[in-house]
Chain A
Amino acid sequence: MRERFSRVATELLDTDPKVAVVLADITADAFEPARQRHPDRVVNLGIREQLLISVASGMALAGMRPIAHTFASFLVERPFEQIKLDLNHQGVGAVLVSSGASYDYSAAGRTHQAPGDVALLGTLPGWTVHVPGHPDEAERMLRAATISPGLVYLRLSALANAAPLAVRRLGFTVLRRGAQATVIAVGPLADVVVDATANMDLNVLYAPTIRPFDRQTLRATLADPVIVLVEPYLAGTSVPEVAAALADLPHRVLGLGVAREELRHYGTPEEHQVAHGLDPASLRERIATFLGSESSSRRGRIPARALA
């Protein structure tokens, strides 16, 4: 996805004079051809991530549409106050594009992992948070983000689904219909979730955009009010969104994702996925256990169609 990002952003620089790309060394090599064509609109600040966000703010105040990019840990976590004050509080827009996600750089350790980025942005108003599951989706989101004035976070990952799954510009896509519960698979975890829930009687929704949270599709497709969230970042990040969407209904919700505890291991992203219980076998067992605990107490008491 990062390669697609630099290629599409380069094209946007060529076609839209208000677009600027602001970097802090990361991915600077890929933007070098664009920098040579647009030396004033491709700006590499060196390893200065507070300045990265503040420069995006200042450019927006001058009337430009800045795209700021580095690893998620240094884009969202390190300069979080700059995001809160220089973007939100000033009332200006920007596009923040991260790479690395929760454990793309598994061998690099905790310093290069940012499972809390979406939760942090969730404390601020107005952010559109994209978690694309495929480079095609990331491209479409980036193009849309540069022509809108708002606050957009595009969370790129090296992990992806085999094919693009989103059929709508914003909101959730229905991958499968079922009655027992609704599983919301976020971004690159969709294929894993589809695999894990094979032959189960479940609604499976795909969420490549998680903020704003698509309450409408969740409600419109709801069977039993039993929800499982599978997010490729901090477990439970969107549980409050589900709770708000279903505030008028007795419901149960399980938030799966990356554990809060530090995983002091290196290795591959696939190994981290297993360690966090996000591989197909682990997910199937955790979802089945959650539904099983429900089936003894609730199944059949509320006709599914009555709630839909």
Chain B
Amino acid sequence: MSEASTLPGYSYADLPGLMALMTGDEKHDLAAESTLDVLWVLYDRILRIRPARASAEPRDRFYLSKGHGPMAYYAILTAKGFIEANELPGYGQFDSVLGRHPDRNLVRGAEISSGSLGHGLPIAVGTALGLRAMGLTRDRVFVLIGDGELDEGSNHEAIAYAGRAGLEALHCVVVDNTSATYGWPGGIQTRFTAEGWSSVRVSGRDHDALEAAFTAAHPGRPHVVIAIV
């Protein structure tokens, strides 16, 4: 389904090596990256995005809202041909395009700049509204947030409105590594389902389960995937 084909020589197994170019850590542990599997499934199986027409339409949008710890993101953008591997070792340096939070004006393939939490989902609501208003009904928006990020009140403005507006084009994945200081009694899902969202809770490491969760039908409603890691 995804149009972002992996470059020759790069597979899922190569991601640790690409991340090591940024960290200098030869034995980078895949499990240390909470977002890696979710991002891989999105770029490998779900998103209709490819470098040759990163700004062309019709296409999907992916907004990385949880912008801190972007090594997995940069590694996957490299594997999918958006950025060059030789840019990775400069990670965080003055002249690098690869900051510790991504800047869409610098990183090819990054569709929003992020770092301050609680911005991606509200922006994605606007894009879903914009696509609908422009009649681009086949385009979809995916946004990745963290469970700790969900503390930010701006998300709850977005969750409530998106549900009432029935934004079917909007897809949110919450990577839940139980980092929210006060947790979410009753479950993260309830914050979305109470507002009319479709929801699925899956392992954030199970690629097939993630793919099924992202492709579940949700007519007339936005969709959230809670990815447990």
Interface residues of A (CB under 8 A from B): 17-18, 20, 22, 40-41, 43, 45-46, 48, 50-51, 54-64, 66, 81-82, 85-86, 89-91
Contact = CB atoms under 8 A, between A and B. Distances in A.
Contacts of B126: 22, 54-62, 66
**SS class, residues of chain B in contact with chain A:** helix
Interface of B: 61, 103-105, 111-113, 116, 118-119, 122-134, 136, 153-154, 157-158, 160-161
A40 B116 contact: no
Given A46-B161, A58-B127, A86-B122, 12 more contacts: A17-B134, A50-B154, A54-B158, A58-B123, A60-B126, A61-B112, A61-B126, A61-B130, A66-B126, A66-B130, A86-B123, A90-B113
Contacts of B154: 50-51, 54, 82
B161 A62 contact: no
Given A45-B161, A51-B161, A54-B154, A59 B113 contact: no
A50 B122 contact: yes
B42 to A, nearest CB: 18
Given A54-B122, A85-B116, A90-B113, A62 B127 contact: yes
A82 B117 CA distance: 11
A58 B170 CA distance: 12
B125 A55 contact: yes
Given A50-B154, A58-B123, A85-B119, A63 B161 contact: no
Contacts of B124: 58
A133 to B, nearest CB: 32
A85 B116 CA distance: 8
A85 B104 CA distance: 12
Given A46-B161, A54-B158, A20 B133 contact: yes
Given A58-B122, A85-B116, A40 B153 contact: no
B119 A64 contact: no
A34 to B, nearest CB: 13
A190 to B, nearest CB: 37
Given A46-B161, A51-B161, A41 B123 contact: no
Contacts of B123: 54-55, 57-58, 61, 86, 90
Nearest to B136: A62
Q: Which 6 A-B pairs have the closest CB atoms?
A: A58-B126, A62-B130, A54-B122, A55-B126, A58-B127, A59-B130
Most buried by A among B122, B128, B134: B122
B119 A40 contact: no
Most buried by B among A20, A22, A40: A40
Contacts of A89: 103, 113
B104 A90 contact: yes
Contacts of B125: 51, 54-55, 58
Given A54-B154, A59-B127, A64 B122 contact: no
Contact of A51 (B103, B116, B158): B158
B118 to A, nearest CB: 8
Contact of B113 (A54, A56, A85): A85
A58 B130 contact: yes
Contact of B153 (A50, A61, A63, A91): A50
Nearest to B128: A58
Given A46-B161, A85-B116, A40 B132 contact: yes
Nearest to B141: A58
A129 B118 CA distance: 27
Contacts of B153: 50
Contacts of B157: 45, 48, 50-51
Contacts of A86: 119, 122-123
Contacts of B132: 40
A19 to B, nearest CB: 10
Nearest to A61: B127
Contacts of B161: 45-46, 48, 51
B141 to A, nearest CB: 8
A82 B119 contact: yes
A285 to B, nearest CB: 47
A62 B158 contact: no
Nearest to B115: A85
A62 B158 CA distance: 17
